[in-house]
Amino acid sequence: MPVKLRLSRQGRKKAPFYHIVVADSRAPRDGRFIDRIGSYNPVTDPATIEINFDRAMDWLQKGAQPTDTVRAILSYKGVMMKKHLMEGVKKGALTEEQAEAKFQAWLTEKESKIQAKKEQIIKGKSEDLTQRKKAEAKVREARTAQIAKKLAEASAKDAEAPAESEAQESEAAEQ
């Protein structure tokens, strides 16, 4: 029975949420599965990935083949790196301690990159917010200036209107 690690779509229309499952390759995409090993939410920025590392490693070592997307997700989380290092240990190229040290170094580097991206996203959002506030302030100042100009014109017309009406009344009185 060919076993695959693949995504099973959940969620509503235009808001996908995926379960990472181990399933028979002949089963339907959202149908029967053998084991659920994690979840993937592409809507968030950065995408939220939760995975049971040990169960994923176990299934990969048993021969389950991941789909392209699941392979990318597992690589992102380090499962594929760990599998690669464990194969090196089996062949005798590395000791288990060396493999674990390499994996931990890779993992800390990856975590720092992820944290830097999250900080960059937050910084970008705050910069965008300040730019929008400045643009809104400029528009508000322009509108205030226009209103003040119209009020000044209206008050000038009101001041001229009584003088004209007095002049018309004096002309009417002379005739």
At 157 the pLDDT is: 80
CA–CA dist 162, 28 (Å, integer): 87
Does 113 map to a domain? no
Question: Which CATH number is 16's domain given?
Answer: 3.30.1320.10
At 127 the pLDDT is: 86
At 173 the pLDDT is: 65
Does 134 map to a domain? no
Does 44 map to a domain? yes
Residue 172 vs residues 4, 159, 165: alpha-carbon distances, Å: 103, 21, 10
Contact 3, 64 (CB under 8 A): yes
Domain holding 7, by residue range, is 3-94
At 67 the pLDDT is: 93
Strands (E), 52-137: 65-66
At 163 the pLDDT is: 61
The total number of structural domains that make up the chain:
1
CA–CA dist 103, 117 (Å, integer): 21
At 129 the pLDDT is: 85
Does 160 map to a domain? no
The DSSP symbol for 58 reads H
At 169 the pLDDT is: 67
At 3 the pLDDT is: 92
Q: What is the pLDDT along the chain (175 residues), one digit of tens a residue?
A: 689 999 999 999 999 999 999 999 888 888 888 999 999 999 987 789 999 999 999 999 999 999 999 999 999 999 999 999 988 988 888 888 999 999 999 999 998 998 898 888 888 888 888 888 999 999 999 999 999 888 888 888 877 766 666 666 666 666 6
Cis, peptide link before residue 46, omega less than 30° from 0:
yes
Residues 6+ apart with CB under 8 A from 59: 3, 5, 22, 35, 37
